[in-house]
Structure formats: structure tokens, C-alpha cells
């Protein structure tokens, strides 16, 4: 239910933005990579035990709405990201869980140079909302906890986004889009064993997000 609601909200936002004014809208479709911070998050405040998510690449879709020649609003979406959460410190070498998330972001951008320029760099700041779902504990975690009845839960989160990138126009309606963003994504994680709380951690994903895409101007 949570996944369907998240996808519905993303779809509704994209449709609403596209319908606002087609002449001012462009769409970017390509590969988007989420590369989490490589410092581990402590478990139960024990710095010797930690968690560390891996990187993942998915299909990225973003919609740009131009208010004028310089100011744009960008909505960033993607197919769900999937991360293996590996142990760190004393848990190194063990896969703890697999999680999925959607991190839609809304970014205000300032574009440099004149709109007639083929190459236009930009900077942006915005907000990110990340929803986690389909958290799957590993067999190794079940073995460590001594039970098959294990649940992993991650809280949704809000955070800030800082972005820089560039667009390159190659034809009247076609172009290339590249961007790199730093996102503030931190979530509280709780592991339950036999219905009782067993482990807690504040998982810092804080990824660098990179996207390279084809741009189409309506």
C-alpha cells in the first residue's frame, strides 16, 4: 500500500507539472546513480558495530519547468532504488538487509548564460522526501538474532538538496542533461526479533546522486 501511494504521488506530481504549461516544460530521461556516504552508522550507539549501504543505479526521470530564462523548478523521480545494507566494524562481511526507497526531490535552479546558448550550467537547492519500503532482513541477521521472525523498519525522511549541473542543446527540441546532487537522507532503523525491539540505528545514507540523461523540450 505504501509503495502504491508513493508511486501515485510521483505520477500525479509529474502530470500536474507537465500540464502547467507545456511550452515551458522539458523532460530528462536517463541513468541516475545513488552513491551513499561510505562512513558507517553505529548500531545501538556502539561504534564498533555498524551499517553501510551500497550504491545503486536506476532509471531517472526529471521534469524542468521554466519560470523565465534563468529560474527553473525541477522535480526529480526514479524507479525504486535497492540497497544492500552491509555490516561494518565488528559486523564487516555480513549482509544485514536489503531495502528499497524512492527519494523524490524538488529543486529550484538558477541557469547561467543566455537561453540562446547551447551550453547552460546551473546550480540548485531544494528539498528531498525519501520513503522506504520492502525492507528484507538477511539470513545472516536472522542467524545472529537466533530467530526467523525478524523485521526491519526504516522511517521516512525529509532533507535538503544541493545541486550543480548543465544542459547542452543539440537540436531544437533535443539536448543532454547532466547533474550531481548532494542529498541529506538520514533515517531511524529498528530491527525486531520475535516482535520485540532488538537493534536500533540512525542510518546515514547522505548520498551523492548523479544523473546523465537525454532532454526533450516540449
Strands 41-43 and 46-53 turn out to be antiparallel
Angle formed at CA 139 by CA 138 and CA 145, multiple of 5 degrees: 95
Distance CA 41, CA 47 (A): 8
- Best CA proximity match to 167, nearest among 55, 79, 96, 69: 69
Average pLDDT over residues 124-146: 92
Q: Is 140 exposed, middle or buried (0-12, 13-18, 19+ CB in 10 A)?
A: middle
> How many residues are there in the chain?
218
Domains of the chain are 2-217 (2.40.160.20)
pLDDT at 4: 54
- Examine the pLDDT at 12 and tell me if it is beyond 90: no
pLDDT at 10: 55
What are the cell numbers at 16?
A: 500536474
**pLDDT tens digits, residue range 90-108?**
666 678 889 999 999 999 9
pTM of the model: 0.83
- Best CA proximity match to 192, nearest among 155, 156, 142: 142
Specify whether the CB–CB gap between 152 and 138 falls below 8 A.
no
Specify whether the CB–CB gap between 48 and 40 falls below 8 A.
no
Specify whether the CB–CB gap between 128 and 174 falls below 8 A.
no
pLDDT at 89: 64
Amino acid at each position: 500500500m505504501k509503495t502504491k501511494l508513493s508511486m501515485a504521488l510521483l505520477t500525479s506530481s509529474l502530470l500536474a507539472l507537465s500540464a502547467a504549461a507545456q511550452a515551458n516544460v522539458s523532460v530528462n530521461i536517463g541513468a541516475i546513480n545513488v552513491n551513499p556516504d561510505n562512513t558507517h552508522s553505529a548500531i545501538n550507539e556502539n561504534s564498533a558495530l555498524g551499517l553501510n549501504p551500497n550504491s545503486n543505479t536506476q532509471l531517472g526521470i526529471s521534469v524542468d519547468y521554466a519560470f523565465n530564462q534563468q529560474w527553473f523548478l525541477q522535480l526529480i523521480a526514479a524507479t525504486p532504488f535497492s540497497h544492500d545494507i552491509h555490516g561494518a566494524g565488528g559486523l564487516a562481511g555480513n549482509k544485514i538487509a536489503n531495502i528499497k526507497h524512492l527519494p523524490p526531490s524538488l529543486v529550484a535552479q538558477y541557469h547561467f548564460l543566455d537561453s540562446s546558448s547551447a551550453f547552460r550550467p546551473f546550480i540548485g537547492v531544494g528539498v528531498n522526501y525519501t520513503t522506504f519500503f520492502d525492507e528484507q532482513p538477511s539470513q545472516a541477521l536472522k542467524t545472529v538474532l537466533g530467530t526467523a521472525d525478524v523485521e526491519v523498519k526504516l522511517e521516512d525522511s525529509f532533507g535538503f538538496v544541493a545541486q550543480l549541473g548543465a544542459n547542452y542543446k543539440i537540436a531544437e527540441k533535443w539536448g543532454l542533461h547532466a547533474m550531481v546532487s548532494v542529498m541529506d537522507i538520514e533515517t531511524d532503523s529498528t530491527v525486531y526479533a520475535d516482535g520485540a525491539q532488538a537493534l536500533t540505528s540512525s542510518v546515514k545514507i547522505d548520498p551523492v546522486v548523479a544523473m546523465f540523461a537525454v532532454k526533450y523540450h516540449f
